[in-house]
Amino acid sequence: MTRERPIEQVLASLPTLEGAGVHLRRAFGPREVPMLDPFLLLDDFRSDDPSHYLRGFPWHPHRGIETVTYMLEGRVEHGDSMGNTGTIGAGDMQWMTAGGGIIHQEMPKAGARDKRMGGFQLWVNLPARAKMMEPRYREVRSVDVPEVEPAPGVRVRVIAGRLGDAVGPARDVIAEPEYLDVAIEAGRTYEHPLARGHTAFAYVFEGSGKFKGGRGAHGNGTLVLFGDGDAVTATAGKAPTRMLLVSGRPIGEPVAWGGPIVMNTDEELEEAFREYREGTFVR
């Protein structure tokens, strides 16, 4: 018998300044650790005001995590200490494993036809055994992200994980995540199966939707964290609804977090920042 996942927590995204002065909304971050283990942070950086994002995220270090940037519109230029450079645009994504240490920059740009720019960045923790792994960077174009219709009136872009025969292009990720962009037509319902024991959440960013077992509708900028079970069922309201549906296997280890670096102990954090000051951070 399928057990519907109950709603455990509802979080409203909060305005935040990051990087060199980028205005964004944070769905969750350090204050919520370890509630969403293995996930650490989700930032929503949609804007139609270039002054809110053009200063971007100049060169900065990362260690101990993976970051996933998924674009809806506009573009972001990337460069890093491994020599990777590139630009991702609407529907594209990049998956960066910082591992033992990487220094990079991400500079948002306006779209070609208007000033809108936006997307999401998700931070995924690495377990102690992989904290110091070799860094890697993967860039995925929109045309390589499979899109399926698992139910009438429902379209799903599979960024990571599997849905039917569709397998997302972000693979070999330590936390075994499922990362879906789900669009539901007005009044339609979608039931999605989830692995038992995995942390799961939905982040609504268009329209509003109701989840089975919950009360009321959840609109733009709302994160819904689910308890354990086999499935989540979402129903769109009077307008089409779009959301990120994300799940992953918890790590269950201590988290020591200092800005862009996430380790297991304060001593490891101190070592990372000392190496960054001394110029030995990148192995």
Answer whether residue 283 is part of any domain.
no
Tell me: cis bond preceding 58? Omega within 30 of 0 counts.
no
List the beta bridge partners of residue 258.
Answer: 261
CA distance linking residue 277 with residue 193, whole number of Å: 46
Mean pLDDT of the chain: 95
From the list 205, 256, 210, the residue with the least C-alpha distance to 233 is 210
Contact (CB, 8 A) for 195 and 248: no
Do the domain assignments include residue 52? Answer: yes
SS3 115: coil
pLDDT per residue, tens digit, the chain (283 aa), is 789 999 999 999 999 999 999 999 999 999 999 999 999 999 999 999 999 999 999 999 999 999 999 999 999 999 999 999 999 999 999 999 999 999 999 999 876 677 899 999 999 999 999 999 999 999 999 999 999 999 999 999 999 999 999 999 887 778 889 999 999 999 999 999 999 999 999 999 999 999 998 989 999 999 999 999 999 999 999 999 999 999 999 999 999 999 999 999 999 999 999 999 999 999 8
Give the angle 210-208-72 at the CA atoms, nearest 5°.
125
Q: What percent of the chain has pLDDT over 70?
A: 99
61, part of any domain: yes
pTM, full prediction? 0.96
257 with 272: CB under 8 angstroms? no
In a domain, 162, yes or no: yes
What CATH code is carried by the domain that includes residue 104? 2.60.120.10
Q: Three-class SS of residue 216?
A: coil
| Cα atoms in the Cβ-side hemisphere of radius 13 Å centred on 8 | 12
86 to 58, 75, 91, 255: CA distances (angstroms):
15, 10, 15, 31
Beta-carbon count within 10 A of 213 CB: 14
In the numeric block, which tokens belong to residue 155?
């379209």
d(CA 156, CA 26): 24
Question: Contact at 8 Å (CB) between 38 and 175?
Answer: yes
Residue 243 within any structural domain of the chain = yes
Is residue 2 in some structural domain?
no
Number of domains in the chain: 1
Q: Which two tokens stand for residue 231?
A: 């499935």
In a domain, 1, yes or no: no
Domain of residue 269: give its range.
7-278
Residue 54 has a CB neighbour count (10 Å cut-off) of 17
pLDDT in tens, 52-84: 999 999 999 999 999 999 999 999 999 999 999
